Amino acid sequence: MNNTVLDAGIARHLAEAHLDASAVATLLKLTIAEDLADGVDVTSVATVPEQQLSVLDLVARQPGVTAGVWVAAAVFDLVTDHDATIEVHIEDGSDVNVGDVLISITGHTRDLLVGERTALNFFGHLSGVATATHAWAVQLEGTGARVRDTRKTMPFLRALEKYAVRCGGGVNHRMSLSDAALVKDNHIVAAGGVRQAFEAVRTTFPGIPVEVEVDTLDQLREVLDAGADLVLLDNFTCAQMRDAVAVNAGRATLEASGGLTLDNAAEVGRTGVDYIAVGALTHSAHVLDIGADLRAL
């Protein structure tokens, strides 16, 4: 693995997904290097002739929604030093069924086996996030509410995991601590009150979107009067959410958080809130089972 940049076509697909191709390549190279640990794949070197060529198919073992197909393709582009033929059979955000071939890679067998686990780790995890998000999106259909992610992401995987949320039909919250403010309970304590915290952020960073977490209807009224345009309703019951929607009267965007499950998602959506925040989309998503099948040329 000597190349430092991705194939232009793969890089273009990543860019179209609003992913930084260079950052993805760096992450993948670090992951592959971790797997090799400055050595070689001793099993493949011992059992596979150096010049042998094969095809590796990545195949869905269970139904779900895909995300990360071009990330997986990038793995094989890197491990083969651009010396592989990569056929992508589906697009991210696609519904797939058991037995569907998602990607086929033709190249030196040893290289394919080196890249196999890294590709599956990323592809399976991101597709699991997309599949989980899709389940929430389906529950919210017709309610007017959208499911939204949080910052509860794995280190260095945030951009990819939030991309997977989009593939599943969800909406992204802020990407970092710097692009939007979220005033939570600890900020409120430190600032001396919910209104004081909101006004401090608005004064210090006037161009930054500000969301304020509230626990009560009184706090909601306070931040609405202060001019908040995005409010997080923390651990409100559905009855309290309906009351909050009435108090809000369309002044701010409302987001529900806490105590949310797939079973009550539709009921929450019907209260009139705009978003529901679900950290489990990224921190608890099950990996979508995708396998790798080698076949001779």
b or e along 267-297 (b: 16 or more beta carbons within 10 Å of the residue's beta carbon)? ebbbbbbbbbbbbbbbeebebbbbebeeeee
213 catalytic, yes or no?
Answer: yes
Please tell me the total number of residues recorded for the chain in this structure.
297
Task: Find the catalytic residue in 184, 202, 221, 242.
Answer: 184
Helix or strand (DSSP H, E) at 108: strand 101-108
Helix or strand (DSSP H, E) at 79: helix 69-79
Burial (CB < 10 A; 0-12, 13-18, 19+), residue 58, is buried
Task: Find the catalytic residue in 35, 57, 117, 221.
Answer: 117
The gap from C-alpha 118 to its chain's centroid, in whole angstroms, comes to: 17
Answer whether 105's CB lies under 8 Å from 112's CB: yes
Task: Find the catalytic residue in 146, 151, 152, 202.
Answer: 152
184 catalytic, yes or no?
Answer: yes
Task: Find the catalytic residue in 161, 234, 255, 274.
Answer: 234
234 catalytic, yes or no?
Answer: yes
**CA–CA distance, 210 with 231 (Å, rounded to integer):** 9
Task: Find the catalytic residue in 7, 149, 213, 255.
Answer: 213
**CA–CA distance, 30 with 208 (Å, rounded to integer):** 34
Give every CB contact of residue 189 below 8 A, 6+ residues apart in sequence: none
Instruction: Return the amino acid letter for 33.
Output: A
Answer whether 115's CB lies under 8 Å from 45's CB: no
**Which active-site residues does the annotation give?**
117, 152, 184, 213, 234
